[in-house]
Amino acid sequence: MKILVCISKAPDTTAKIAFTDNNTAFDTNGVQFIVNPYDEWYALVRGLELKEQNGGSVTVVNVGLAENEPIIRKALAIGADEAVRINVNPTDALQTAKEIVAFAKAEGFDMVLLGKETIDYNGSQLGGMIAELMDMPYVSLASKLEMEGTTATIHRDIQGGTEVVEVTAPFVISAAKGMAEARIPNMRGIMAARTKPLKVVEGSGANASTTIANYELPPAKGECHYIDADNAAELIELLHNEAKVI
C-alpha cells in the first residue's frame, strides 16, 4: 500500500496573529511553526497505522521552501518513510494542488491523505482539487478509515451525523478528528529522521488563480458589560432589548 500524506506548516495554535507590510503579510516574528495539527495527528498517523497493518510505505509531501524542512523532519520522526519537498512558495491551494499532482501522477499512490484544513488559511480546498485533477474519488472530513484489500470504508461528518461510505483505491481523503490518536516522536524516531530521504524537486511552474490583497484584524470588542450574579435575570432582558439576540 503506497500512501501519500500532504503536510503543511502552520503557526503554533497560541501564536499571536499580526500583519506587516501594510497588512499584506503575516508577521512571523517570534512565531513558532508546527506541522498543521490535522495533517500530523490524523492524516499522517492513520497513514502509518495502515502501513503497519498492510505493509507498504508512507511518503510525506510538502510544497514549500527550505525553511519548511524542520516540520518535514518532524513527520519523518513520527514514522514516515520518506519525504518530498516541492521547492515552490505557493500562493493558493489550486497552485499547490497542481504541484502535488505533477509530482504524484506518475508515482502510483493508492491513497492521498490530507488534513481537513490548514489552521492558518482554513481553506479545506486542496483535497478536492487533487482528487479532481487526478480523477479520483474524494471523501472529505473523514473521521474513520478502514481498508479491506483495495476497498475503503470511511466515516465522514455530515450535517447532524455521520455517513458511512465505500470507495475503491486510489482515492483522496481529508482527515478530521477521530481518525487516529496523535503520536509523539521518540528518540529513535528523531535519530532515524536525520538519515531518512528528503528529496527536493523543482516545481512544474503552475500558476495561482487568487492573490491576497490584504489582511484585517476583527474590530476590537467593546468593554465587557458585567452583571451582578445576584441579578442574573437582568441578562435575559439585556439579550432581548440591547443585544437583540433572543
Partner 1 sequence: MSVLIYANTANGKIHKSAFEAVAYGSKIAADLGTNATAIVIGACSDAESLGEFGATKILHANDSKFNDFDPSIYTQVVVKGAEAEGADVIIFSHDFSGKSIAPRVAAKLDAGLVSGAVDYPSTANGFTVKKAVFSGKAFANITINTDKKVISLLPNSVDKSAKGGSASVETFSPEVGAATVKVKEVIKESADLPLTEAEKVVSAGRGLKGPENWGMIEDLAKELGAATACSRPVADMDWRPHHEHVGQTGVAIRPNLYIAVGISGAIQHLAGVNQSKTIVVINNDPEAPFFKSANYGIVGDAFEVIPKLVEAAKAFNASNH
Ligand X SMILES: Nc1ncnc2c1ncn2[C@@H]1O[C@H](COP(=O)(O)O)[C@@H](O)[C@H]1O
Ligand Y SMILES: Cc1cc2nc3c(=O)[nH]c(=O)nc-3n(C[C@H](O)[C@H](O)[C@H](O)COP(=O)(O)OP(=O)(O)OC[C@H]3O[C@@H](n4cnc5c(N)ncnc54)[C@H](O)[C@@H]3O)c2cc1C
Residues that bind ligand X (CB under 6 A): 6-8, 36, 38-39, 43, 61-64, 90, 93, 96, 114-115, 117-118, 121, 123-126
Q: Which of residues 161-200 bind partner 1 (CB under 8 A)?
A: 161-168, 177-178
Q: What is the DSSP letter of 219?
A: P
Q: State the CB neighbour count (10 A cutoff) for residue 130.
A: 24
Report, in Å, the least distance between residue 237 CB and ligand Y.
22
Measure the CA–CA gap between 70 and 85, rounded to whole angstroms. Answer: 12
- Of the pair 57, 124, the CB lying nearest partner 1 is at 124
Out of ligand X, partner 1, ligand Y, none, what residue 62 binds, judged by CB under 5 to 8 A for its kind, is ligand X
Q: Which grid cell sits at 73? A: 523532519
Measure the CA–CA gap between 109 and 36, rounded to whole angstroms. Answer: 22
**48 neighbors 162 (Cβ within 8 angstroms):** no
Q: Kindly write out the interface string for residues 104-143 of this chain, putting x where it contacts partner 1 by CB under 8 A and - elsewhere.
A: ------------x--xxxxxxxxxxx-xxx--xxxxxx--
Applying CB under 8 A, the span of 80-88, 102-110, 156-164, 185-193 interacting with partner 1 comes to 156-164
Out of partner 1, ligand Y, ligand X, none, what residue 220 binds, judged by CB under 5 to 8 A for its kind, is none
Report, in Å, the least distance between residue 97 CB and ligand X.
8
Which residue of 3, 7, 11, 13 would you call a contact of ligand Y, by CB under 6 A?
13
Residue 170, preceding bond cis, omega within 30 degrees? yes
- Of the pair 128, 203, the CB lying nearest partner 1 is at 128
Measure the CA dihedral 116/117/118/124, to 10°: 150
Measure the CA–CA gap between 104 and 48, rounded to whole angstroms. Answer: 19
Q: Which of residues 26-65 bind ligand Y (CB under 6 A)?
A: 37
Out of partner 1, ligand Y, ligand X, none, what residue 61 binds, judged by CB under 5 to 8 A for its kind, is ligand X
Report, in Å, the least distance between residue 146 CB and partner 1.
12
243 part of the interface to partner 1, by CB under 8 A: yes
Give φ, ψ of 9 to 5 degrees: -100, 140
Distance, first Cα to last Cα, the chain: 54
Burial of 129 (0-12, 13-18, 19+ CB in 10 A): buried
Name the site residues for ligand Y (rule: CB under 6 A). Answer: 13, 37
